[in-house]
Structure 1
């Protein structure tokens, strides 16, 4: 039972959830099997570690059912039953905390029983409850839509056209209006995700319907933008379609970093991620002022615990790396060290040490301790497309600082082959890395040749549209200019 799906689920539950699951299993409505309850109580005492030697099937059976002889089929059956109950509990818990879910099911059941008046009371009560909510996101409009559907059932059952007073009014539009809000929020958030993907991997999606949606919201659909959630999603998509709009960048940053802005946690995080990706592109193009914006956003992300992609998930690795690199760029070494030690255990276990080694390598590099940096980077594995790029660049800069030019040239050749062959690498990343490789090659050549025009090289680096480590490249060029002028 060591590696079963059941143990995997139970190990992720909190102590409070385990108590609630215990109550759920003890309820005769949900469970009438005493053996299943016994198994849960045994496992509950081992939560959350579930030490392997304590959960072997044979041992558990002997603890629970001694002196009976071990029966594997029976043991598998109660494990299966407990797994089913645990899944039922998760579904029940999710429904209990989902906005108006219970009330909608009750109203629908009352209508199915023909109790229209009681259903109407439930609907009215639920509407009042929803109207008190300030956050009008996609789920809010989905619930409003579902309520209007139920109201329409009651209306259609009781409607009799007798006089002009019985003429249908605009209230019948509420169902479609709520559906429109729901759709616009959901589809723009999805388009936002797809457009943002192109910053990290080589993707080109055919978003055929997007121009029509944007045109609609800019014209006759403009009143829909009074909704803050929809307005933010629309403006983020607009920015992704035209990243040159820096006024819009600062406008969005101000709203997303304001706790008073009524949006869900995940929506705030996704918006800040988009701004961070665009900021990185701006920095690569030579606009240093966007380092400050990134650092301020990253600090906000850490302080507000916006670092995981899904609720209850691990600290996002790419966000973690970005926070470290940007803060070091602002010379916040002490803050970075405290950040790493406080948060690295929140990373996924399988990449935790790898990420920590990479980040400490960057700290040592910032401090000028290149031997220690080399030791750290030697422990870093190329786990994903981002680390394949970041670690290769870091290895190159460390070897250059140590004066190991032959190693630098080897790293550059391997890096060049990687950028040519990895189909996942985005076009912009391929361009940024290619320029870095080109300029480091020229720096290596310039160390041993007076024929290289260093002023021209400096100008080329400065005016290059996009390049990784521009600041470092310019610093190394200035060092060579100073050395050769002596």
Structure 2
């Protein structure tokens, strides 16, 4: 089978992109090589499998050169030409999607051919489009700078108006782009610094932050600067006030950012909430839920039209923790069809089982979990934890003890799991078994012994960090305490 970067690249194309690439190659403006057209036509027929049989070098050669003796070097040259066209195709596709980039290149082209009368019309039209643009991310200000540069050229070299007006506008737009991009990178650096505990240096960041901090009113109406400044404060200073201020800025200016960047912005807030929830600041559970709802309304969580099964699971988990049972049940049903077909049934059953557990319909939990496929370790672990809690609620103690024994053996064998995750599951299963044992002795042991055993378990729960489903465990212990 031919191993070539051309085939690797074409595998990543969707059907529309593959069709457009074939049309691109058949355009005589971009390609005049008949052999390249023949190769592309054949590879299009192989899409998307590109199997070993289809891509056998001798088979491919016969399709491209049907009546010629095999010449591997000749075929390699055609592959190289075609790959270069594929790169050019991707660049053209990006150019088609960017009106501002196209206008700038058009202006440069008109300058080159000295079409100055038409140049001025395109310049005015392009400037108006940018002025009225709804989205104003940092890239927007870069395009404004480029357009200001073209206008300054027009003023100074075409109509010979020798003043500083065009240059002043250029400087203003460049400053806005620089500050927006600098603060955007600073936010991302702060996030990564918190994750990997590595210090990064930026010689000019302090001056950029100081410029915005000392002139807040100047930048307040420029979301690409002001919002990222507020985000930087949120991540740098431990004061929840910055979270709420930054979130308010996002809500008031989110239409200024294209959907991919808007999704990234929401992700910063999500991660902040998750960090606070992990530190037991449960007020941020409701905040996280609202963030998910906002993203669902704007379809920011969809990738190629599909909702990730893990977003699906996380949203269900947060909703259930907030006891939003009706909302969660409707969400599970509604978004089943937005999941990728190959994972939809599995994700639906698992999350519906989680819903029925919170709704205390434990029989349906067991029926659904039997049908869940455990090829992904995350489903396996989540299902086992859900099964544990269900056995406890049903007082199926023998089944619970058996599950705990087998699961603890599984944890010992599985060395790929992170230590923190392993510890979290280990303590959940171990302490649930002890709670079940204490409960099973109610009416047999003296109340003083039960209270002593329960108090010991509670103290251990309080001093052990990172226990999964800790609030559920605490609730079960409180139920036992009523009998003491």
Q: TM-score, normalised by structure 2?
A: 0.75
8 Å CA contact 2:301–2:307 kept in 1: the answer is yes
**Residues 254 and 380 of structure 1: CA distance in aligned 2, closer, same or farther (over 3 Å):** farther
**Residues 413 and 222 of structure 1: CA distance in aligned 2, closer, same or farther (over 3 Å):** farther
Partner residue of 2:262 out of 241, 262, 268: 268
**Residues 313 and 122 of structure 1: CA distance in aligned 2, closer, same or farther (over 3 Å):** same
- CA distance in structure 2 between the partners assigned to 1:338 and 1:221 by the alignment: 46
Partner residue of 2:288 out of 287, 294, 299: 294
For residue 135 of structure 1, give the secondary structure of its aligned residue in structure 2. Answer: coil
8 Å CA contact 2:190–2:235 kept in 1: the answer is yes
CA deviations on 1:52-88 (whole Å, 9 max, x unpaired) are 5444443344345434344433333323322221221
Structure with the larger RCO, 1 or 2 (CA within 8 Å, 6+ apart): 1
Q: Residue 174 of structure 2 aligns with which residue?
A: 179
**Residues 413 and 139 of structure 1: CA distance in aligned 2, closer, same or farther (over 3 Å):** same
- CA distance in structure 2 between the partners assigned to 1:445 and 1:36 by the alignment: 71
8 Å CA contact 1:286–1:466 kept in 2: the answer is no
Q: Residue 149 of structure 2 aligns with which residue?
A: 149
For residue 31 of structure 2, give the secondary structure of its aligned residue in structure 1. Answer: coil
Q: What is the Cα deviation at residue 89 of structure 1?
A: 1.1
For residue 29 of structure 2, give the secondary structure of its aligned residue in structure 1. Answer: coil
**Residues 204 and 249 of structure 1: CA distance in aligned 2, closer, same or farther (over 3 Å):** same
- CA distance in structure 1 between the partners assigned to 2:259 and 2:305 by the alignment: 13
Q: Residue 314 of structure 2 aligns with which residue?
A: 322
**Residues 441 and 24 of structure 1: CA distance in aligned 2, closer, same or farther (over 3 Å):** closer
1:409-420 matched pairs, under 5 angstroms: none
Q: What is the Cα deviation at residue 193 of structure 1?
A: 2.5
Q: Residue 228 of structure 1 aligns with which residue?
A: 223
Q: CA RMSD in A?
A: 4.6
- CA distance in structure 2 between the partners assigned to 1:56 and 1:338 by the alignment: 46
Residues 1:239 and 2:234 aligned together: yes
For residue 140 of structure 1, give the secondary structure of its aligned residue in structure 2. Answer: helix
8 Å CA contact 2:357–2:390 kept in 1: the answer is no
**Residues 268 and 83 of structure 1: CA distance in aligned 2, closer, same or farther (over 3 Å):** same
CA deviations on 1:435-465 (whole Å, 9 max, x unpaired) are 8866775565554573646468669968999
Q: Residue 190 of structure 1 aligns with which residue?
A: 185
- CA distance in structure 2 between the partners assigned to 1:6 and 1:352 by the alignment: 33
8 Å CA contact 1:36–1:79 kept in 2: the answer is yes
For residue 226 of structure 1, give the secondary structure of its aligned residue in structure 2. Answer: coil
Q: Residue 86 of structure 1 aligns with which residue?
A: 86
Q: Which moved more, 1:172-181 or 1:20-29?
A: 20-29
Q: What is the Cα deviation at residue 219 of structure 1?
A: 1.4
Q: Could you tell me which runs of 5 or more consecutive residues in structure 1 were left unpaired when the two chains were aligned.
A: none
Q: What is the Cα deviation at residue 190 of structure 1?
A: 2.2
- CA distance in structure 2 between the partners assigned to 1:410 and 1:210 by the alignment: 54
Q: What is the Cα deviation at residue 94 of structure 1?
A: 0.7
For residue 340 of structure 2, give the secondary structure of its aligned residue in structure 1. Answer: helix
For residue 306 of structure 1, give the secondary structure of its aligned residue in structure 2. Answer: coil
Q: What is the Cα deviation at residue 95 of structure 1?
A: 1.4
Q: Could you tell me which runs of 5 or more consecutive residues in structure 2 were left unpaired when the two chains were aligned.
A: 392-396, 439-448
Residues 1:283 and 2:277 aligned together: yes
8 Å CA contact 2:148–2:169 kept in 1: the answer is yes
8 Å CA contact 1:137–1:229 kept in 2: the answer is yes
1:375-454 matched pairs, under 5 angstroms: 379-382=374-377, 395=384, 398-399=387-388, 402=391, 403=397, 404-405=400-401, 408=404, 444-445=433-434, 447-448=437-438, 450=450, 452=452, 454=454
Q: What is the Cα deviation at residue 104 of structure 1?
A: 1.7
